[in-house]
Amino acid sequence: MASNVANYDFGGGGIQLVKNPLHLADNEATQLQNAELVLNETTGGAGALSKRGGLAVLNSSAMSGSVTGILPLTLLTSYTRTLYIAKGTEDSTTFVTTTDGTTLTNSTTSPRLCDFDKYTDENNARNARRMISFRNFIVYAGNNYTQDTDNPEITVFDGTTGTLVARIPVGPSSNGNPPFVITDMITANGLIYFAVHDPGGSGANLCGRVMSLDLETGVIKQIATAFGGGTNEMSGGAPSCLVFYQSQLWVGLNGSATTDGIGKIVRCYPSIDTSWTADVSNLVSHVSSLCAFSGDLYAGTQSSISTGAKIYKRTASTGAWAAVATSGGGAGGSGHYASIYEHSSALYAVEFHTTTPIVHIVTSADGTTWTTSRDVDANDSGTAALFPGSMLTLGSDLLVVFRSTDINDNDGFLMRLRSGTWSKLATDNYAGPLAVLVTKA
């Protein structure tokens, strides 16, 4: 018979709708209707669950008299959603902002995002390279470090002040030098997960790690084993893109080899597993983007030496992977599907190839049938040298950014889908990442 568990903080962890019930912490619950946590100052603020009180009766007895009017009162707090569009180093502007998806404003307040030239190792041009929104902050890879000499950094910005919160230490699979760069970042379960490309290894054994950051405690932890060719390390490439799906952390890998049929995606329960499970290892080539949609998982891959880039779907009920789209860009080169993203109950992605050239924003309502939503190279860019960056929703608009060709060039551009119509919103020195900052007044 199991021993008794003393739980003095039941409900203190709040409602948890993401984890499997078997993985809930002792103080978490799946539902707590009509309950509230009443704090007790005499015990240092620790609280206990109590039944939420009802509304106070305003008249002498229930249903006595009649309501003749209700006075609406404006809330004292209002929230503003501001889209931050990262810039390169053309000028002192670090981000461009917009609250309405139309008017753009230059900002020099926040620290600069990690520069383009720190992503030149191997195939990092096709990694996800996202920044994220977390509570009332945006979180991103900072630029205040010298690559190969200093440890990369993570920066948070609240709309007024930018703060360095972490530096990424040397990894166990590296050649002893600091990490190259942070390749992707997501948030789930109150934590920030980020992928790191470490120096050392080659091809399918490129080195790297996936780590978590708890902003409340400042604790950084490595998730499962490192990536590389060493003992007990996961081979297949450095981590390039992340997604949280079915209570697990999924990682797409990226290497320098162009052999057909080597694309690999691994997964683990980040708070439980000590090693990665390879879910699939024979996709056409390395993985550039991941997204969950309608219960299934989707992966955008790169082109191989003999086959064009593909979008794959992993059916949740069977766990089987199958290609649902193949790029017209053909084999080799820089072909890949980038930035798979859900918007307005449909999937969007960028189909990209420099030498064909193809720069198309594609979409699917069911995840199986894909069509071109916007022929960007024909209508907007004039060149296929502008790699796709992030996609993000602001209000009812979908924004897609294309990176400038260099950290000092102003030929990047921003696309907007509004009410079914695409338009080229602006041209500037865009770096690729997007994030929405929520502030309150």
**Rounded Cα distance, 314 and 322, in Å:** 7
Q: Taking 90 as the threshold, does the pLDDT of residue 137 lie above it?
A: yes
Is the per-residue pLDDT at 37 higher than 90?
A: no
In a domain, 26, yes or no: yes
Count Cβ atoms below 10 Å from residue 341 Cβ, excluding itself: 20
- The yes-or-no verdict on residue 2 having pLDDT over 60 is no
Structural domain contains residue 20: yes
Contact status, residue 92 vs residue 408, Cβ threshold 8 Å = no
Model pLDDT for residues 339-371, shown as the tens digit of each residue? 999 999 999 999 999 888 899 999 999 999 999
Judge contact between 132 and 159, C-beta under 8 A.
no
What pLDDT score does 47 carry? 66
What per-residue confidence (pLDDT) applies to 51? 73
Task: Give the residue among 246, 254, 199, 191 at the shortest CA–CA distance from 223.
Answer: 191
| Structural domain includes residue 35 | yes
Q: Is residue 30 one of the residues assigned to a domain?
A: yes
25 pLDDT more than 80? no
Q: Mind listing the pLDDT tens digit for each residue in 84-108?
A: 999 999 999 999 999 999 999 999 9
The answer to the question of residue 213 being in a domain is no
- The secondary structure element, H or E, covering residue 171 is none
Q: Contacts by 14-19 with C-beta closer than 8 Å and gap 24+?
A: 16/189, 18/188, 18/189, 18/244, 18/247, 19/189, 19/247
- Please state the pTM of the whole predicted model: 0.82
Q: pLDDT by residue (tens digit) across 380-397?
A: 976 777 899 999 999 999
Any domain includes 164 = no
Split into its structural domains, the chain has a count of: 1
> What residues make up the domain containing 11?
7-53
> 1: pLDDT confidence band, cut at 50, 70 and 90?
very low
Q: Is 11 within the bounds of a domain?
A: yes
Q: Does some domain include residue 29?
A: yes
| Percent of the chain scoring above 70 in pLDDT | 87
